[in-house]
Amino acid sequence: MPLMEALSLRRSTREYASRALPLQSLSDLLWAAYGINRADCGDYTAPYWRHIAVLDVYVAMTDGVWRYSPERHLLMPHLPVDLRAATGLQDFVGTAPVNLIYVAHGDRMHDLTPEQRRLYASVDAAFIGQNVYLYCAGSGLASVFRGAFDEASLAKAMHLGADEFITFTQTVGYPRHAESDHHG
């Protein structure tokens, strides 16, 4: 889909079908989000602070939590637990098939105050979030970027390290009306 058309369709959605994403869509989604688009230098589809990669994209699905490895373009198993409901304070997060969690490694951000770390990591996450919105708009998928989650309990449930913090989360799935269309 041309970029201008995807931009005209970009929006936040809060009603999802429970239908899983096909693996190819998940693969394309993650590449669009934060994949490596220049093999020679290993840089990403999203710009990032000071050329230091501080963010990991985690994927919470029914079969557990995975970490996206851009270098290998693979999902690495993180936890075999369905943590979708813990990724937000809104009901749809527990049933939508995919919730992305943008986790920052604070220890990689030297000479910054905690506020600056949060600011720059959040900007990195926001660029990825817009890539996700545009991929979804161009692919018949729905998304919403989210700041409403209980960070302490989600970080604990994900077994994050002391230097890691969660910037934002983002739900992806099929819009609910598409499911009723799908089933006739």
Ligand X SMILES: Cc1cc2nc3c(=O)[nH]c(=O)nc-3n(C[C@H](O)[C@H](O)[C@H](O)COP(=O)(O)O)c2cc1C
Q: Which residues bind ligand X (CB under 6 A)?
A: 11-12, 14, 90, 144-148
Phi, psi of 176, deg, nearest 5: -60, -40
Residue number closest to ligand X, CB atom: 148
Rank residues 63 and 151 by Cβ distance to ligand X and give the closer one. 151
Beta carbon of residue 158, minimum distance to ligand X (angstroms, whole number): 18
- What is the distance between the alpha carbons of residues 76 and 126, in angstroms, rounded to a whole number? 23
Rank residues 4 and 23 by Cβ distance to ligand X and give the closer one. 4
Beta carbon of residue 36, minimum distance to ligand X (angstroms, whole number): 25
- What is the distance between the alpha carbons of residues 155 and 184, in angstroms, rounded to a whole number? 40
CB neighbourhood size of 42 (10 A):
11
Beta carbon of residue 132, minimum distance to ligand X (angstroms, whole number): 12
- What is the distance between the alpha carbons of residues 143 and 10, in angstroms, rounded to a whole number? 9
Rank residues 12 and 153 by Cβ distance to ligand X and give the closer one. 12
Beta carbon of residue 102, minimum distance to ligand X (angstroms, whole number): 11
- What is the distance between the alpha carbons of residues 159 and 133, in angstroms, rounded to a whole number? 28
CB neighbourhood size of 146 (10 A):
21
Rank residues 37 and 90 by Cβ distance to ligand X and give the closer one. 90
